[in-house]
Structure 1
Amino acid sequence: MHAETRLPGLPAVAWWNAAAGASSLIGPDGCMDVISLHGRLVVVGADARARVHRGTAGTLTTGVRFDPGVLPQLLGVDADALADRQVPLAEVLGRRDVARLLDAAGRRGPGDPGPVAGAVRGDGTGASDLPSVTAIAAALCARAGRLDPRPLRVARALGSGLDVAQVAEEAGRSTRQLRRDAARWYGYGPKHLARVLRYRRAAADLEAGASRADAAARAGYADASHLWRDERDLMTPS
């Protein structure tokens, strides 16, 4: 069981997941998360392909998924250093910095995670750590101040179906510069990010009941077979 909601005023989505089985398949989305896992705060880097999350049935995991290119700015690290990895937040920021962050999150209060927590409580599972994770996300954003708007702008352009050369031109970068930027911002190159975002669009249409042919056409695939090849590649764990 899974639910999520966008956090007001933050470039992020709060989510929770109550595992139904011992393992689950998590597809790539171009984003990075901070999650609460077994009592620890963990940074989850962007996945290039699907990965298998192994847990215990009934275990509640909560987290905040930041929009593409946001979390590296908040943490002061390059995304490619964390790609396909799960690293304790204390290893990324240092224990003292995490302690200050937790203190700031506590002063801000738990916040209101909105309908996500309501859904969890309605299920009787409890969402005691979700507000703290959202408060930590708010504290990260507050201390970072103004974010560089380029990563979000480029991700939106790539997600809209524009080709990499056109996106680079609109961003005032060469394609080589954009490749370097994308590695720092997202953890992989612009072509792969565009591929991931295109598949996410098609997958959302499929989940909403669209036929494979219609979903492929709307997402910009040549045909349903093209979508199938991308799905097989991106959703097969590496």
Structure 2
Amino acid sequence: MYEEAPSRSVPGAVVWRARGPGGPVLPDGCMDLLWIEGRLLVAGPDTGPHPAGEVPGRSFAGLRLAPGTAPALLGVPARALRDRRVELADLWPGPEVRRLTGRTARYADPCAGLEALARTRLDAAGPPDPLPTEVTARLRAGQPVAAIAAALGIGERRLHRRSLDAFGYGPRTLGRVLRLQRALALTRRGLAQAEVAYAAGYADQAHLAREVRALAGTTLGAWAAAQAPSGAPADPGPAGANSETWQPSGSRTTA
């Protein structure tokens, strides 16, 4: 079982809950603050698929933070957490983490505890850096990296360095990850693969297939079949994915 909803107190974030082992975790450009059976963890930005059950547990709650927002909360550059799942105690002083763990445990809904923790940290960090939001929006719009750097008034090398700290990887990789997520969303809507390739901004269907294999470790057809309810046809229909199946679209699933 997996469910999610927009956060009511952390802009751009999503709260989610899950039970069971779930499915593989695919890159989405986000980072997650996690509560797993009394433990606080962080899931860093992914560059490829992560297997189900990478962090043991039966019950999970998470706050999925929009691309580029987690470093201000954590006080750690995203590049240091790329493709990692770490205990919060490995990043912050032990006494502080024990205090925050106890505070989160007092919430009937651990997602509310995660939101309170994140809101407090983000407020203390001061005004957010506008660059990650701008870069993400321009990449989602399909703008090339050179054009984004020019629009921001910085060189491509500087944009790359700042992206490493904000997102965990350079803007070209983030663009590929965001495009993958567009392709998966279009597939859930029932579009044929040729239509998905065109609408998501790939050169052609072969380009789509290569990118899905590189970033998701599977084919789009196999991924779509895994989303279908038990007994349903393998091709994705307009109804979308099974609400009882965790959606493997980033660190939102387990850890």
Give the 4+ runs in structure 1 shifted more than 6 A: 55-58, 103-106
How does 1:137-152 map onto structure 2 within 5 Å?
137-152=118-133
In 2, Cα distance between the equivalents of 1:225 and 1:150? 33
How many residue pairs are counted as aligned between the two chains? Answer: 217
Counterpart position of 1:165: 146
Q: Given the alignment of the two structures, is residue 209 of structure 1 paired with residue 190 of structure 2, yes or no?
A: yes
Query: What is the Cα deviation at residue 208 of structure 1?
Result: 1.4
* TM-score with structure 2 setting the length: 0.78
Residue 141 to residue 103, structure 1, CA distance change in 2 (3 Å)? farther
Question: Mapping of 1:151-230 within 5 angstroms?
Answer: 151-230=132-211
% identical aligned pairs: 38
Q: 1:61-105: CA deviations, max 9, x gaps?
A: 110010011011111111101111111112112123335656887
Query: In the aligned structure 2, how far is the partner of 1:89 from the partner of 1:129?
Result: 16
What is the match of residue 222 of structure 2? none
46-55 vs 182-191, which moves further: 46-55
Are the counterparts in 2 of residues 23 and 55 from structure 1 also a CA contact under 8 Å? no
Report what 2:76 is aligned to.
Answer: 77
Cα deviation 1:85-143 (Å, max 9, x = unaligned) = 1111121121233356568879xx95xxxxxxxxxxxxxxxx74222222222222222
1:151 CA displacement: 0.9
Whole-angstrom CA distance in 2 between matches of 1:13 and 1:84: 20
Look up the SS of the partner of 1:93 in the other structure: coil
How far off is 1:56 after superposition? 9.8
Q: Which residue of 2 aligns with 1:118?
A: none
TM-score of the superposed pair, with normalisation by structure 1: 0.83
What SS does structure 1 have at the residue aligned with 2:91?
helix
Aligned-pair Cα RMSD in Å = 2.4
Structure 2: how far apart are the matches of 1:42 and 1:10? 18
Structure 2: where are the runs of 5+ without partners? 219-255
Indicate yes or no: 2:38 matched with 1:39.
Answer: yes
Q: Which runs of 5+ in 1 are unaligned?
A: 111-126
Distance 2:133 2:95 in 1: 30
